[in-house]
Amino acid sequence: MATAATAIGGAGTAAAQDDYEVIEAAGQTITIDTGETWENKLIDMTTGQDIVVTAHSSDWTIRNIGFKGKNTAGTGTATFGISDTSGGTCTVENVYLGDGSSTGNGNPNGHGQTAFWVAPDHNGHIDFENVNIQNFADNAIYGSAPGTKGGGTIHIDSSFAANCYVSHFRLATEGSKVTNSSVYVDGSHGYVGRGIWGWAPGTIEVEDCQIEMNGQNTAIDAGANGNPTEIAVTNTDYDDGAGIAEHAGSNVQLGDSVGTDPEAFIPQGVPTSPEEAASGSQK
């Protein structure tokens, strides 16, 4: 699929540095409080050190953030640890994590670096929009944990994830969905995780998506840990070479306009470089 392959490596548009703040990764943790907007940052990972961003509060916004260089943190960690713990609505938009994590992050059990981890206590709503995540050794957006406790919802819209391990978009709670987004796995580099993975209790909605796996792993996977769920799919193409998996009585409902000729693409507005994300110049 030529369009996605070329777009993945797109250079983007560089902007003047004074459009954003440069933060050098040095093992620090940045905490976002209730009602806070954290925006226009370029995180320099070429230092070889880690940085963690946490937002376990309410009504916060993360916007225009670009990560330059591979994340080299140890296994079992996340670049972003987030949740809304007071029933509010939070936003993650225009974030570039396309440089991925180092190959040293991976291990056979899949416990590597996660891009976004949504904590079990999440009981509000998080909107993801215009997010670009590639080559992470663990899940791109790991959003299934609230299904075991808080019950909060997640909406992933107009986003792109490629060549990550375990899964790319992973959700659990009813009202959570993936729309207008693409998953791309080419099998020649990076990791080959599931496309979309639904956990209990569901139902998870998938609409207007392209899931191009090139025969790798599973395109749409429903159910885990012996617990069933439902995934409702409409107006979406998925790779039938990778196929659909239904575990523990799960059900993937294929609705209107579902096909098997996916052409993954980077949605309009998704940043293709760290500088483009930090400056917000693609808007």
Phi, psi of 153 (to 5 degrees): -105, 160
Residue type, 121: D
Distance CA 192, CA 105 (A): 15
Distance CA 57, CA 70 (A): 28
Burial class (CB in 10 A: 0-12, 13-18, 19+), 133: buried
pLDDT of 6-26, one tens digit each? Answer: 334 433 333 445 699 999 999
Are 253 and 229 a contacting pair, CB within 8 Å?
A: no
Task: Provide the pLDDT for residue 260.
Answer: 98
Task: Provide the pLDDT for residue 12.
Answer: 35
User: Considering only CA atoms, which of 269, 283, 278 is closest in space to residue 62?
Assistant: 278
Distance CA 180, CA 46 (A): 32
Q: Is the peptide bond before 262 cis (omega within 30 degrees of 0)?
A: no
Q: What is the pLDDT along the chain (283 residues), one digit of tens a residue?
A: 433 333 344 333 334 456 999 999 999 999 999 999 999 999 999 998 989 999 999 999 999 999 999 987 765 689 999 999 999 999 999 999 999 987 654 444 445 789 999 999 999 999 999 999 999 999 999 999 999 999 999 999 999 999 999 999 999 999 999 999 999 999 776 799 999 999 999 999 999 999 999 999 999 999 999 999 999 999 999 999 999 999 999 999 999 999 999 999 999 999 999 999 999 987 5
Task: Provide the pLDDT for residue 72.
Answer: 79
Burial class (CB in 10 A: 0-12, 13-18, 19+), 3: exposed
- Half-sphere exposure for 265 (CA within 13 Å, toward CB): 13
276 token code pair? 């483009």
Are 159 and 128 a contacting pair, CB within 8 Å?
A: yes
List, in sequence order, the alpha helices (H) in 109-181: none
The residue ranges of every structural domain in the chain are 20-189+198-279
Distance CA 199, CA 4 (A): 28
32 token code pair? 């976002």
Residues in Cβ contact with 66 at an 8 Å cutoff, skipping those fewer than 6 apart: 20, 41, 42, 43, 95, 96, 271, 273, 274, 275, 276, 277, 278
Distance CA 13, CA 277 (A): 9
Task: Provide the pLDDT for residue 13.
Answer: 34
Residue type, 191: Y
